Amino acid sequence: MRLTILTGAALLTSVAMAGTTAQAATQPGPRLAKHECHEVWKMASPHGDTLSRGKATPYVLNFAMVDANHNGVITSKEFKRGCREGWVTTADASTAKDMKK
């Protein structure tokens, strides 16, 4: 009985972890032009601060690929590189509106 419970718990844990990993894009999208990147950065970081994972989610396809030094935040420089490499996308109007609330 204990083995069944432990096996079930391990299976649920692995499925849950796979679901969170699958959310990150494995392929970059279209590259943004400089003006598009600038506009997205202004929406994502109105005060020019670094972006945490939560604030970057609507705009960044794969946080780990953009956070070059892996310190948990994205700087303006890292964001611009992410735009050039296709890891940053434009947010739809409703997402941008929600982010400003």
User: Domain span at residue 35?
Assistant: 25-100
In a domain, 75, yes or no: yes
In a domain, 3, yes or no: no
In a domain, 35, yes or no: yes
pTM over 0.85? The answer is no
In a domain, 5, yes or no: no
The SS3 assignment for 92 reads coil
User: CB atoms < 10 A from the CB of 78, how many?
Assistant: 22
Q: How many angstroms separate the CA atoms of 70 and 14, rounded?
A: 24
Residue pLDDT, tens place only, 17-53: 433 433 578 999 999 999 999 999 999 999 999 999 9
Residue pLDDT, tens place only, 76-97: 999 999 999 999 998 654 455 5
In a domain, 14, yes or no: no
Q: Of 48, 59, 50, 39, which Cα lies nearest the Cα of 99?
A: 59
Beta-bridge partner residues of 60: 88
Total of domains in the chain: 1
How long, in residues, is the chain? 101
CATH number of the domain enclosing 72: 1.10.238
